[in-house]
Chains A and B, each alone.
Chain A
Amino acid sequence: MPAVSMTVNGKAVSGDVEARTLLVQFLRENLRLTGTHVGCDTSQCGACVVHIDGIAAKSCTTLALQCEGAKVTTIEGLAEPNGPLHPMQEAFREHHALQCGFCTPGMIMAALDIVRRRGNDLDEHTIREQLDGNICRCTGYHNIVKAIAAGAKTMAKGGARQAAE
């Protein structure tokens, strides 16, 4: 079995994987980082979104071996250990942007990528369009849109640690 090495949430990790092992399986089963979820098998639902080298990617459609040498950030890596939550996480709680929570890690990671690409002043239309890769069945998106707009604004106020590059 081939070996793979990468950095996950700032920590160097390695493991033996099959060629067909998905990144999400490596994260969940080898590293026991179960915050990243699997919700579909056609790369549509977005529950699996992580950041690879600073860019949002669907870990269900990425092979673990593809991430050799990469820097991966998952939902568990957003907040400082024993530190405050990331402003986007806070915004989701403040605006009731989650109910069952299953789509939430991927939604937050995708939200951060929207900020990276479109900036901190996001209007409703932009956010809705940019969430094309994330499905929520619980919230109807109304509060998710509000949370992302608010989280983006708070991130602009500085002092907020953005997702690791």
Chain B
Amino acid sequence: MSATGIGAAVRRKEDLRFITGKGRYTDDVIRPGETRAVFVRSPHAHASIRSIEVSEAKKMPGVIDVLTGKDLATDKIGNLICGWMIHSKDGSPMKMAPHPALAADKVCHVGDAVAVVIAETQAQGRDAAEKVKVEYQLLTAVVDPAKARSAPQIHEVAPKNTIYEWSLGNAKAVDAAFASAKHVTHLDIVNNRLIANAIEPRVAVAEYDAGTDQLTLWNTTQNPHVSRLVIAAFVGMAPEHKLRVIAPDVGGGFGSKIFIYPEEVVCLWAARKVAQPVKWTADRSESFITDAHGRDHVTHAELALDASGKFLAMRVKTIANLGAYMSTFSSSVPTYLYATLLSGQYDIPHIYCEVDAVYTNTVPVDAYRGAGRPEATFVVERLVEVAARQLGIDPADLRRRNFIKTFPHQTPVIMAYDAGDYNASLKKALEIADVKGFSKRKRDAARNGKLRGLGYSTYIEACGIAPSQAVGSLGCGVGLWESAEVRVNPTGSVEVLTGTHAHGQGHETTFAQLVSERLGIPFENVSVVHGDTDKVQFGMGTYGSRSGAVGMSAVANALDKIEAKAKKVAAHMLEAAEGDIVFKDGKFTVAGTDKSAAWGDVALNAYIAHKFAGQELEPGLKETSFYDPTNFTFPAGCHICEVEIDRDTGKTEIVGWTAVDDFGTVINPMIVEGQVHGGIAQGIGQALLEVAVYDKDGQLVTGSLMDYSMPHAHDLPSFKVGLTETKAPSNPLGIKGCGEAGAIASPAAVINAITDAIGTEDLAMPATAQAVWSALTRAQPRQVA
């Protein structure tokens, strides 16, 4: 392994600009003549719009125009869409309600935009927005997803506010298994609604060039080409070839920046109308009521076991709150990204899952780090842990008894796991976490009046999103392959143009490591180009832990083609047969001789083209690959959380965290560990601190960072991270991906640990100090002295 090749902890190229304040985030983009957009948003959760009066606002200083939903409809701008078709059990398609970028008839959530002010400065825009007069007729707000089915109907297309009633698995077989079970564990689980809160708020800058009839959008997006496609083909803003989308540096996404939102659509439309660039930057409290939220499931789950603790079947019923409108990928998250992981790491013969998705008058819900897999893992790992406690079996032991041990393994829920070794990660985690010493630590803590608990989460997830035919057959409207173009320059340096787009994952470094090692050229001679639809061929973007598994595999395949062509050029240069050329460490050698040509010379010759005829070999050295994986990948591992609880305050301190993950091939272990740290932090946030709360009128009570509790440094421990490796068989590099695993595994580990400590399962997330104290008090009422 070289110092900069695959497996090396190379320090990141992108850091220089970030640590010196020279990053170029979307709000840093300043266009000549730029105007500012300020949205007028509904303060009500559910209301019809009786009138909008903009004349006073239009007269305010600096105002260029004020536009409404009526204007949008007049200009025939199309609606936003959800791109994944899900069918109900009765075969009917999901009920997708119209979602215009500016509401014209009614508003469906607090934050729903009804008008936009275009002004010279942000301050002028804000002042004018306050003068827009909207008359609302209040309607009953539907807030509780568990009660949405019997609440007033929000959208005409969706009776009982039901989007779909979906199922997966064999209900009859599951019922039969339950009937024969020796033991059934059941749990009622709420997977708490979360807000991604990437530290960079969303921004859109739109510019129209009347001379070329070209629109340009700078946007905080994880997938510029997908945004361009949706805005062109569905919203109808402009034909694709007349719309350029640029994602500059993006400050975190976690899924929330995948989706196509009203704001960028409105900015593009307004830019063309006012013939000046239009910039919109979200305030944080605006982000709270416009960025897609995550999770929000209500679940009843049951696990059937036989007398020896073998899992026989699992039955799950979930209500998924998708919010006021169907966001871009929303339908897939509680279905094919959720139910298909309910087998966990275990051999479970029969599984049946029903999911009802509902509309409520809340912000739309869509993928958030893990997207369906944290929800599934929480269900599975809580059931398993509780079952172990109920049966008096050691939780590690119960897991071992049920682990899948041979591969490939076809689960009853579509996923076919191709490779893994769950025992290996469990074993390593037990050692690192010093589980043997736990009883003593628990006794010592008890002497100090503290309650210690230990919780496991042996998770598996499906990522490396995704094999196109597979997802297509499940209703996805797009393929989920990835593209790469490798351009060798005449002077031998290389540009890799990838359809992925990093928002913190370090692609400029890791992709360069791959190319550097494969071509035997210095790491400094490789640059990565991404995030601009004018520069880079179509790609699907970064989410679903796919950039390594799918994105780098495309690069690897393109490198194979580069190598093949370069060998042809070398053969001409060295006057040898192509089949005799060996390429190693950046040098082309005629086998069995000392005749060689260096990489740089071959690259130059490819472009000068003096040594070969154009008819036999085209000049140039540039190759493309569109890579479609053959399967999802299946990262898996074991997280062990140790907590200490103060019984007087209910405060949980995490005193130990061990994560042992199998990510297959690891390109840069430093970056992989960083992904694990960040994922665990978000999972701990979900378990202990975070929840988006709506009151009965549909007001977002947790509407800013004052009330929504983000994890701070003092809320978190340091983490012990280890790796095991079984390579992914489904892509040429054997990469499984690592971006979401931490967030998927961790909530269950935390709650398993706390419930172990306090001796009751009656605890919901977030397990705040108050929640834990209350649970303790209910379970162990204290005597009054």
Residues of A at the B interface (CB closer than 8 Å) are 18, 20-21, 28, 32-42, 44-45, 47, 74-76, 78-79, 85, 89, 92-94, 96, 98-105, 108, 124, 127-129, 131-132, 134-145
Contacts of B199 in A (CB 8 A): 37, 39, 45, 47, 100, 102-103, 135-138
Category for how many chain B residues contact A = 35 or more
Interface hits, B699-713 → A, CB 8 Å? 704-706, 710-713
Inter-chain contact A135/B710, CB cutoff 8 Å: yes
* B506 is an interface residue with CB less than 8 A from chain A: yes
Contacts of A98 in B (CB 8 A): 15, 18-19
Contacts of A41 in B (CB 8 A): 283-285, 704
Inter-chain contact A135/B705, CB cutoff 8 Å: yes
From B19, B123, B674, B714, A139 is in contact (CB under 8 Å) with: B674
Inter-chain contact A89/B198, CB cutoff 8 Å: no
* B681 is an interface residue with CB less than 8 A from chain A: yes
From B254, B506, B704, B718, A124 is in contact (CB under 8 Å) with: B718
Inter-chain contact A74/B718, CB cutoff 8 Å: no
* B505 is an interface residue with CB less than 8 A from chain A: yes
Inter-chain contact A96/B716, CB cutoff 8 Å: no
Beyond A89-B20, A137-B254, A143-B677: 8 further Cβ-contacts under 8 Å? Answer: A34-B21, A44-B706, A96-B670, A100-B200, A131-B714, A137-B199, A137-B681, A141-B712
Q: Give 27 A-B contacts (CB < 8 Å), ordered by A residue.
A: A20-B123, A34-B24, A39-B251, A40-B705, A41-B283, A41-B285, A42-B705, A44-B710, A74-B21, A85-B20, A92-B15, A93-B12, A96-B673, A99-B252, A101-B14, A103-B199, A105-B21, A108-B19, A132-B712, A132-B713, A137-B252, A139-B677, A140-B680, A140-B711, A141-B716, A142-B677, A142-B718
From A99, A108, A135, A136, B506 is in contact (CB under 8 Å) with: A99
Inter-chain contact A101/B713, CB cutoff 8 Å: no
In the assembled complex, the Cα of A98 lies from the Cα of B249 at a distance in Å of 13
Give B201's nearest chain A residue, CB to CB: A39
Interface hits, B702-736 → A, CB 8 Å? 704-706, 710-714, 716, 718-719
From B284, B674, B719, A96 is in contact (CB under 8 Å) with: B674
Contacts of B249 in A (CB 8 A): 100-101
Inter-chain contact B284/A75, CB cutoff 8 Å: no
Interface hits, B50-73 → A, CB 8 Å? none
In the assembled complex, the Cα of A41 lies from the Cα of B199 at a distance in Å of 11
Contacts of B505 in A (CB 8 A): 99
In the assembled complex, the Cα of A96 lies from the Cα of B18 at a distance in Å of 12
Q: Give 10 nearest A-B pairs by CB, closest first.
A: A35-B21, A101-B18, A102-B251, A140-B681, A100-B504, A99-B504, A75-B21, A140-B677, A40-B284, A131-B713
Stretch at the interface among B25-33, B83-91, B309-317, B437-445: B25-33
In the assembled complex, the Cα of A39 lies from the Cα of B197 at a distance in Å of 9
Give B505's nearest chain A residue, CB to CB: A99
Known contacts: A33-B21, A85-B20, A92-B19. The answer to whether A42 contacts B706 by CB under 8 A is yes
* B23 is an interface residue with CB less than 8 A from chain A: yes
Binary interface encoding of chain B residues 678-705 relative to chain A, with 1 for a CB under 8 A from any of its CBs, else 0:
1111100000000000000000000011
Contacts of B201 in A (CB 8 A): 38-39
Give B502's nearest chain A residue, CB to CB: A100
Interface centre among B16, B22, B505 (most CB of A within 10 A): B22
Contacts of A39 in B (CB 8 A): 199-201, 251, 284
In the assembled complex, the Cα of A144 lies from the Cα of B675 at a distance in Å of 13
Known contacts: A102-B252, A139-B674. The answer to whether A93 contacts B712 by CB under 8 A is no
Known contacts: A34-B21, A102-B252. The answer to whether A143 contacts B674 by CB under 8 A is yes
Inter-chain contact B678/A137, CB cutoff 8 Å: yes
In the assembled complex, the Cα of A96 lies from the Cα of B11 at a distance in Å of 7
Inter-chain contact A96/B22, CB cutoff 8 Å: no
Inter-chain contact B11/A93, CB cutoff 8 Å: yes
From B12, B250, B713, A128 is in contact (CB under 8 Å) with: B713
From B18, B250, B704, A104 is in contact (CB under 8 Å) with: B18
Contacts of B19 in A (CB 8 A): 75, 85, 89, 92-93, 98, 101, 104-105, 108
Contacts of B712 in A (CB 8 A): 128, 131-132, 134-135, 141
Known contacts: A44-B706, A89-B20. The answer to whether A139 contacts B670 by CB under 8 A is no
Inter-chain contact A37/B718, CB cutoff 8 Å: no
Shortest distance between the CB of A76 and any CB in chain B (Å): 5
Inter-chain contact A79/B705, CB cutoff 8 Å: no
Contacts of A18 in B (CB 8 A): 123
In the assembled complex, the Cα of A20 lies from the Cα of B719 at a distance in Å of 43
* B503 is an interface residue with CB less than 8 A from chain A: yes
Known contacts: A20-B123, A44-B706, A137-B682. The answer to whether A102 contacts B716 by CB under 8 A is no
Contacts of A33 in B (CB 8 A): 21
Shortest distance between the CB of B221 and any CB in chain A (Å): 14
Give A127's nearest chain B residue, CB to CB: B713
